[in-house]
Structure 1
Amino acid sequence: MIGEGEPLQQSDGPRKLDEAMEAVYTAAETVKAAAQNVADAIEAARQPGAPLDRLVRWTREAPLHAVTVAFLVGVVIGRRRS
Structure 2
Amino acid sequence: MALNRTVAVSMVSGPAQALAEVVELEKDGRLARYQYLPAIKADLLHRLGRSAEASIAYRQALELTGNDAEREFLAERLSGPHRA
Q: Scaled by the length of structure 1, what TM-score is found?
A: 0.25
Larger Rg over CA atoms: 1
Q: Scaled by the length of structure 2, what TM-score is found?
A: 0.25
